[in-house]
């Protein structure tokens, strides 16, 4: 049975201003990694739409949740990213951590405690890492939606400039069609050159 996130972790951690953090785009071969940060300024809402692990939601459900989160006066949110060049320099794990820290720095409220999806905490942030956190904490789930919707929209915008790679359909993930497109059309500045399939294509070109 699928777990439904709630505010239990937030309520029980003994802090008042708590930010949920999550990222989108660790696996793709191109585009930035994007992090979302969300603080719920209250925990009782009558009109909250479905907010869950963004990967388990449809695009329409994510868009509805995104609009609700970003237009709600009782929700503080921010989004930030690390570029492909930064990913190549830092590696994808620490680029993700850096994007999360940047997102926290953009929040209007200064969180006392951060709940991070996964098993690692960004440097200089106080809080805890929560494995499968987007299925347990509504703050993390909301951050996952902000990150994924932002990144998906960004990849669709880039796809208009580079339609041959079909980023609007594959979001930069290494599908067979995408790999064939890279071999045919080459590697541009949006690719992560340290990622295996891209590195291999560059070495063979």
How many Å apart are CA 177 and CA 103, to the nearest integer? 33
Give the tens place of pLDDT for each residue, 24-39.
999 999 999 999 999 9
Tell me if the domain spanning 8-161 has CATH number 3.30.470.20. Answer: no
Q: Which two three-digit tokens encode residue 32?
A: 């930035």
The CA-CA-CA angle for residues 178, 183, 184, to 5°, reads 95
Domain ranges within the chain, ordered by starting residue = 8-161
Q: DSSP characters for the chain?
A: -----BSHHHHHTS-SSEEEEEEE-SS-SBS-EEEEEEEES-S--SS------GGGS-HHHHHHHHHHHHH-TTEEEEEEEE-HHHHHHH-HHHHHHHHHHHHHHH-SS--SEEEEESS-PPTT--EEEETTGGGTBHHHHHHHHHHHHHHHHHHHHHHHH-GGG-HHHHTT---HHHHHHHHHH---TTB-TTSHHHHHHHHH-
User: 82 vs 1, which has greater pLDDT?
Assistant: 82
Instruction: Kindly give the pairing relationship between strand 113-117 and strand 33-40.
Output: unpaired
pLDDT given for residue 55 in this prediction: 87
Place of tokens 């949110």: 77
pLDDT surpassing 60 at residue 1: no
Instruction: Kindly give the pairing relationship between strand 33-40 and strand 18-24.
Output: antiparallel
pLDDT given for residue 205 in this prediction: 73
Give every CB contact of residue 88 below 8 A, 6+ residues apart in sequence: 192, 193, 194
Please measure the distance between the N-terminal and C-terminal CA atoms of the chain and give it in whole angstroms.
48
How many Å apart are CA 96 and CA 130, to the nearest integer? 15
Give the tens place of pLDDT for each residue, 147-201.
999 999 999 999 999 999 999 999 999 999 999 999 999 999 999 999 999 999 8
Residue 95: count other Cβ atoms within 10 Å of its Cβ. Answer: 26
User: 124 vs 21, which has greater pLDDT?
Assistant: 21
Q: What's the pTM value of the predicted model, to 2 decimals?
A: 0.95
Give me the torsion for CA of 52, 125, 81, 39, rounded to 10°. Answer: 40
How many Å apart are CA 189 and CA 22, to the nearest integer? 25
């Amino acid at each position: 049975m699928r777990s439904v996130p709630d505010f239990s972790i937030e309520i029980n951690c003994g802090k008042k201003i708590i930010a949920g953090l999550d990222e989108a785009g660790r696996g793709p071969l191109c585009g930035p990694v994007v992090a979302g940060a969300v603080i719920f300024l209250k925990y009782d809402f009558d009109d909250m739409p479905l907010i869950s692990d963004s990967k388990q939601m449809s695009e329409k459900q994510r868009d509805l949740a995104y609009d609700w989160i970003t237009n709600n006066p009782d929700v503080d949110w921010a989004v930030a990213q690390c570029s492909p060049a930064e990913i190549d320099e830092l590696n994808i794990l620490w680029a993700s951590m850096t994007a999360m820290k940047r997102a926290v720095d953009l929040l209007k409220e200064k969180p006392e405690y951060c709940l991070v999806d996964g098993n690692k905490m960004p440097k200089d942030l106080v809080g805890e890492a929560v494995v499968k956190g987007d299925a347990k904490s509504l703050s993390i789930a909301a951050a996952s939606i902000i990150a994924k919707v932002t990144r998906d929209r960004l990849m669709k915008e880039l796809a208009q400039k580079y339609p041959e790679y079909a980023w609007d359909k594959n979001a930069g993930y290494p599908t067979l069609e995408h790999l064939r497109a890279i071999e045919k059309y080459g590697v541009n500045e949006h690719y992560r050159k340290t990622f295996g399939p891209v590195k291999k294509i560059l070495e063979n070109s």
